[in-house]
Amino acid sequence: MTPAKRFFSLLKLDRKDVYQIFFYALFAGLISLSLPLGIQAIINFIQSGRVSVSWIVLIVVVVAGVALVGLLSLMQLRITENLQQKIFVRSSFEFAYRLPKIRFDELYNNVYPPELANRFFDTLTIQKGVSKLLIDFSAALLQIGFGIILLSLYHPFFILFGILLVLLLYMIFRFSYKAGLDTSLSESKYKYQAADWLQEIARNNSSFRTRVNFDYALEKNNSLVGSYLNYREKHFNIIRRQFTQLIIFKVIITAGLLLIGGYLVLGQQMNIGQFVAAEIIILLVINSVEKIVLGLETFYDVLTATEKIGQVADMDIEEGTPSATLPNDQPITIEVENIRFRYPGAQKDIIRNVSLKIAPGEKILLQGANGSGKTTLIRLLSGLLQPSSGSIFINDDTFTKIDNASYRSKIGSIIQGERPFEGTILENITFNNPAVSQEDIRWALDSVQLTDFIKTLPEGLNTRIFPEGKQLSSSNAQKVLLARSIVHRPSILFYEDPTDRMDAQTAAALIDFIFAKENPWTAVVSSANPHWQAGSTRQVTMENGKITEDKVG
């Protein structure tokens, strides 16, 4: 969809509110343009030198009209406030729903998930911009339309004025729309890259403390900001050109209308009251044109913001049509048959014709050199990735027919790079799942040797931790992830180096627990720690995307 189509699709969601805003703008425009007629009549009464009841009534009507226009504007503000709130709520839930469900292949190529999340702030631009566009643009367009119609009743010459005005707006918009939108999108691109780089500096602040690294951080920031300013200046030049054209038009039209209006009055084709009313209408129309031209920058900002958010909404998400769920008490057997997988943009498959059957309760260690395909295979087995070809069977049913949510509810996993999120330790472990009992929590904490640490905290499990668990030791951060993975007593565990940040003794104790025979779960682990071999019931060795050895015991 083009940015314009995205914008109008956004408005369709709240068409009732939009229609109300236009209705009030229509009513206010009619009243505003009737005021010059009232002023014309008042001037005619004054010229006659008479003070009458009609004169007083006209003054009251004009003042009441001004008050009514103000009241209609207030009602428009109330509607646009409701509209802004709905846009914010809708956008926040759109992001919250989509970000965890975006398909891996959509994220793999040059897309950084936090950068996608940052685009939510464009919602604020849309909120303010839509409000301004709906109120100001609707009022301005209606004033221009009604003004031209009203002026044409005074003299046919003003019809030419209306044609020139419409032609001006068309020319300004026609020849600057694409360039204005393109420069706005480029400006936005570098704005986000600069914000993303500042986040990287903050996330790795210790790395940028040395002089050389600090200089590099500033140099890259300078490059990104320079590109931003370059496109910002190009965008401003377009706005400046539009406004310059408007100034020239205003000067020519104002001078021409004053001269011709004066000529018509002297030629007794218009009286002085009509001349004053016509000039008031002309000023209102010209001011409306100016409001539209100045508002084009807001229009570009809204289209750009809509496009940036729309790019997130366009990403494919995991939406299956499940035909079966897994019973709670049924053991899970996994079988893969001739699966292949290639990362987007890669030249060759990372997994090549792999076949494997995993029985319930097996404790499997995946071994192999870096790049052999261990991590990719675990992510295929856990459902994070979909094979390019081949089949995955869960309990003799194809994986694509099993409800992903049902399958993942039976899984505990730790994926490389996973960290605790901002929240309490309890929230990090249970996600406030009401099905998790206090007994489950105590068992999980004891099992991963986290109980003693929790007891040292003044607020215990209610202790809030920073994003990525920054105030936790790396060992305790991994223990939190381990407790999270087992607290719901899963049927299958998929682990990628779950103990690599722990000392040897602690890691050995946790490995013994995970691979203990009394734990009924199936465990598939990728790790270089040799202690995993002692407890495993099966070792699978991979090389160049293939299984080269599958040893039991």
Sheet holding 334-341, edge to edge: 351-358, 334-341, 389-394, 397-398
Residue 327: its pLDDT value, please?
67
Q: Distance between CA atoms of 173 and 245, rounded to whole angstroms?
A: 11
Q: For residues 337 and 394, is the Cβ–Cβ distance under 8 A?
A: no
DSSP string, 456-475: HSTTGGG-EE-GGGTTS-HH
pLDDT greater than 90 at residue 543: yes
pLDDT band at 40 (very low <50, low <70, confident <90, very high): low
pLDDT greater than 60 at residue 217: yes
DSSP string, 129-156: HHHHIIIIIHHHHHHHHHHHHHHHHH-T
- Which domains are delineated in the chain? 3-313 (1.20.1560.10), 334-552 (3.40.50.300)
Max CA pair span of the chain? 115
Q: For residues 144 and 425, is the Cβ–Cβ distance under 8 A?
A: no
Q: Distance between CA atoms of 158 and 203, rounded to whole angstroms?
A: 63
pLDDT band at 33 (very low <50, low <70, confident <90, very high): low
Q: Which two tokens stand for residue 235?
A: 């965008």
pLDDT band at 338 (very low <50, low <70, confident <90, very high): very high
pLDDT band at 232 (very low <50, low <70, confident <90, very high): very high
- Total residues found in the chain within this entry: 553
pLDDT greater than 80 at residue 55: no
pLDDT band at 52 (very low <50, low <70, confident <90, very high): low
CB atoms within 10 A of CB 343: 17
Q: Distance between CA atoms of 419 and 394, rounded to whole angstroms?
A: 29
Q: Which of 190-204, 289-303, 488-502, 515-529 has the lowest mean pLDDT?
A: 289-303
DSSP string, 524-539: EEE---THHHHH-SEE
Q: Which two tokens stand for residue 179?
A: 């360039």
pLDDT greater than 80 at residue 458: yes
Compute CA 518 distance to the chain's CA centroid, rounded to the nearest angstrom.
46
b/e code 351-377 from CB counts within 10 Å (16+ = b): bbebebebeeebbbbbbbeeebbbbbb
Residue 323: its pLDDT value, please?
55
Q: For residues 485 and 405, is the Cβ–Cβ distance under 8 A?
A: no
Residue 513: its pLDDT value, please?
95
pLDDT band at 50 (very low <50, low <70, confident <90, very high): low
Q: For residues 410 and 329, is the Cβ–Cβ distance under 8 A?
A: no
pLDDT greater than 80 at residue 54: no
Q: What are the pLDDT digits (tens) for 63-120?
A: 787 788 788 888 888 888 999 999 999 999 999 998 888 887 777 766 778 888 888 9
pLDDT greater than 70 at residue 53: no
Q: Tell me the average pLDDT across 502-530.
A: 93
pLDDT greater than 80 at residue 393: yes
Residue 439: its pLDDT value, please?
94
Q: For residues 381 and 334, is the Cβ–Cβ distance under 8 A?
A: yes
Half-sphere exposure (CA, 13 Å, Cβ side) for 441?
17
Residues near 288 by beta carbon (within 8 Å), at least 6 away in sequence = 139, 140, 141, 143, 144, 147
DSSP string, 223-252: HHHHHHHHHHHHHHHHHHHHHHHHHHHHHH
Residues near 353 by beta carbon (within 8 Å), at least 6 away in sequence = 338, 339, 340, 390, 546
For the chain, the average pLDDT equals 85
pLDDT greater than 70 at residue 153: yes
Q: Distance between CA atoms of 103 and 45, rounded to whole angstroms?
A: 74
Q: Distance between CA atoms of 553 and 546, rounded to whole angstroms?
A: 20
Residue 366: its pLDDT value, please?
94
Q: Tell me the average pLDDT across 508-519.
A: 93
Please name the residue that has the structure tokens 């425009």. Answer: 29
Q: Which of 259-268, 376-385, 539-548 has the lowest mean pLDDT?
A: 259-268
SS3 204: coil
